[in-house]
């Protein structure tokens, strides 16, 4: 490993291409923690946004007018406003309205930190799109399939969980795929509320070394890789869920 | 539920003055008849005469506007109807089979008893294999619906309904979407059921089959029952002009 790290030091000395994230232990750890933070943030908001999508799409089919209206307002609000403004709204706006508690140093501390707000904000943002994506999938399930489930005694929720959702999922996976890719990229907005994710730590590093072009390149390549892994696993999942003699 | 009052010698399905409209269009204009336990009833009539609507009303897939439908004493036209209690008693098979395409044949049969009725999985599995054999599909248990022919899918759908141990089976033009050669296998399955004493109500265009299995025939036209009777008499000497005309066109 040391040979690998030293190679980057030699590279810097020979060419001027400066990548301290490899040869400097402190920067390496700093960068790695940023990468982990990005993955963690992506994973949490990815799962939460899918849950919001599934639940929201279910509520959208409710018999109660007000339930449907609330879901509709939620979608309109989060789809029609910029995600950065939403994040500011949560972190600076909503957070200020919530109670604080006294921390170990005797300061007043908000109950939720930047990371939590970033997760909440990103999940709601992507969740709004996911509701619409799942709705399109649900609408693709034939009414007669629903009736078959109903006549076998399934309740509306039972039919949704056991019959409609599994079928809707298969229909909407490509669209869901796109939205989740966008979500992973949107995690960089957490930079704005000082969540130490990949972009944030990279910013710290290039302020220290003035190696903006190198860091930018690394950053882009890492996102290509991250999104690539996500897309690959989604595609694999899509193939695994393909049904013989059904759909395409 | 009011089933406590119901006894075996009363009609298992009882319709009284059933009315149903879709918007301004009245599909059912006062239908009344009874079906006894173990009876096989065939409903025939021109398309648009309300046959399918009638059969869908019996398991509450379509709500009626007025009148009464009772299944084993359960009033279907009751706002507080316990739908599960009704659907445990009434099995339904559709024209388009409507199998769940993401589950194998045997899973389709097992799903509802396990997930809805919460019966032990092992017990249901044994029953499901037996049912697959009964509909002559042993060996196809692990095929997905997409890998089966229309006739095979329809027989899985019949097995799936039977797995709920219903008291009445409703068949809504179950052979209408099938190739002529697969119609036979499905009809043979229904015939087996009828001979086992299952109460069956069929909406069908298969006159030969109706003649063979039915205990009682009903002919509907424009939302009313025009004529009914035992098949021998019904087919040999139709009294009403509309029945005569319809049978003349079909046979």
Tell me, what's the pLDDT at B251?
Answer: 61
Mind spelling out the 3-state secondary structure of chain A?
CHHHHHHHHHHHHHHCCCCHHHHCHHHHHHHHHHHHHHHHHHHHHHHHHHHHHHHHHHHHCCCCHHHHHHHHHHHHHHHCCCHHHHHHHHHHHHHHHCCEEECCCCCEEECCCHHHHHHHHHHHHHHHHHHHHHHHHHHCCCHHHHHHHHHCCCCHHHHHHHHHHHHHHHHHHHHHHHHHHHHHHHHHHHHHHCCCCHHHHHHHHHHHHCCHHHHHHHHHHHHHHHHHHHHHHHHHHHHHHCCCCCCC
pLDDT in tens, B178-189: 888 889 889 999
* Chain A contact present for B111, CB below 8 A: yes
Q: How far is CA B102 from the centre of its chain?
A: 24
So what's the ipTM on this one?
0.89
The pLDDT > 70 percentage for chain B reads: 98
Tell me, what's the pLDDT at A247?
Answer: 61
Q: Which residues contact B101 (CB under 8 A, 6 or more apart)?
A: A167, A243, A245, A246, B144, B145, B146
User: Which residue ranges of chain B lie beneath pLDDT 50?
Assistant: 1
Test the B interface: residue of A140, A141, A151, A163 with most B CBs within 10 Å: A151
Q: How far is B46 from chain A (nearest CA, A)?
A: 22
Per-residue tens of pLDDT for chain A, all 248 residues: 788 888 999 999 899 899 999 998 999 999 999 999 999 999 999 999 999 999 999 999 898 999 999 999 999 999 999 999 999 999 999 988 888 888 888 888 888 889 999 999 999 999 999 999 999 999 999 999 999 999 999 999 999 999 999 999 999 999 999 999 999 999 999 999 999 999 999 999 999 999 999 999 999 999 999 999 999 999 999 999 888 877 64
Tell me, what's the pLDDT at B1?
Answer: 47
Chain B residues lying within 8 Å of A166, measured CB to CB: 102
* Chain A contact present for B164, CB below 8 A: yes
Tell me, what's the pLDDT at A89?
Answer: 95
User: Is residue A93 within 8 Å of residue A120, measured between CB atoms?
Assistant: no
Residue labelled with tokens 């590279």: A11
Tell me, what's the pLDDT at B225?
Answer: 93
| Residue B28 three-state SS | strand
Domain boundaries, chain A: 41-96+109-195
Q: How far is A235 from chain B (nearest CA, A)?
A: 18
Q: Which CATH superfamily is domain A41-96+109-195 in?
A: MetI-like (1.10.3720.10)
Instruction: Please judge whether A158 and B116 are an interchain contact, meaning their C-beta atoms are less than 8 angstroms apart.
Output: yes
Tell me, what's the pLDDT at A100?
Answer: 84
């Amino acid at each position: 490993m040391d040979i690998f790290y030293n190679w980057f030091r030699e590279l810097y000395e020979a060419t001027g291409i400066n990548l301290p994230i490899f040869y400097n232990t402190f920067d390496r750890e700093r960068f790695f923690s940023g990468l982990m933070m990005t993955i963690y943030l992506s994973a949490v908001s990815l799962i939460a946004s899918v849950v919001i999508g599934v639940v929201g799409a279910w509520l959208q089919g409710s018999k109660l007018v007000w339930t449907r209206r609330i879901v509709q307002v939620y979608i309109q609000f989060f789809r029609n406003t910029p995600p950065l403004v939403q994040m500011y709204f949560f972190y600076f706006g909503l957070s200020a309205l919530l109670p604080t508690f006294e921390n170990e140093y005797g300061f007043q501390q908000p109950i939720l930190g930047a990371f939590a707000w970033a997760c909440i904000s990103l999940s709601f943002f992507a969740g709004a799109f996911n509701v619409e994506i799942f709705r399109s999938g649900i609408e693709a399930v034939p009414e007669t399939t629903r009736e078959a489930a109903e006549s076998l005694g399934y309740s509306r929720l039972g039919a949704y969980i056991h019959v409609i959702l599994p079928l809707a999922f298969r229909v909407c996976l490509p669209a869901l795929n796109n939205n989740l890719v966008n979500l992973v990229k949107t995690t960089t907005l957490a930079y704005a509320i000082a969540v130490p994710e990949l972009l944030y730590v990279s910013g710290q590093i290039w302020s220290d070394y003035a190696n903006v072009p190198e860091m930018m390149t690394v950053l882009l390549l890492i996102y290509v890789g991250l999104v690539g892994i996500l897309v690959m696993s989604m595609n694999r999942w899509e193939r695994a869920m393909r049904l013989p003699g059904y759909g395409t | 539920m009011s089933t406590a009052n119901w006894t075996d010698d009363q009609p298992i399905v009882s319709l009284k003055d059933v009315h149903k409209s879709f918007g301004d269009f009245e599909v059912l204009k006062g239908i009344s008849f009874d079906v006894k336990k173990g009876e096989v009833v065939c409903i025939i009539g021109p398309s648009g005469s309300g046959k399918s609507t009638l059969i869908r009303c019996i398991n509450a897939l379509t709500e009626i506007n007025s009148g009464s439908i009772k299944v084993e004493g359960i009033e279907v036209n009751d706002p507080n109807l316990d739908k599960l209690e009704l659907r445990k008693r009434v099995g339904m098979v559709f024209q388009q089979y409507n199998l769940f395409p993401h589950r194998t044949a045997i899973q389709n049969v097992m799903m509802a008893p396990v997930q809805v009725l919460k019966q032990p999985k092992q017990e249901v599995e044994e029953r499901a294999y037996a049912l697959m054999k009964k509909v002559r599909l042993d060996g196809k248990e692990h095929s997905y619906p997409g890998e089966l022919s229309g006739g095979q899918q329809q027989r899985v759908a019949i097995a799936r309904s039977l797995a709920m141990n219903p008291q009445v089976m409703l068949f809504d033009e179950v052979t209408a979407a099938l190739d002529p050669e697969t119609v036979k296998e499905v009809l043979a399955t229904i015939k087996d059921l009828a001979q086992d004493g299952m109460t069956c109500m069929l909406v069908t265009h298969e006159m030969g089959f109706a003649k063979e299995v039915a205990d009682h025939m009903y002919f509907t036209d424009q939302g009313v029952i025009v004529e009914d009777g035992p098949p021998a008499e019904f087919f040999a000497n139709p009294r009403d002009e509309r029945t005569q005309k319809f049978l003349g066109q079909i046979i």
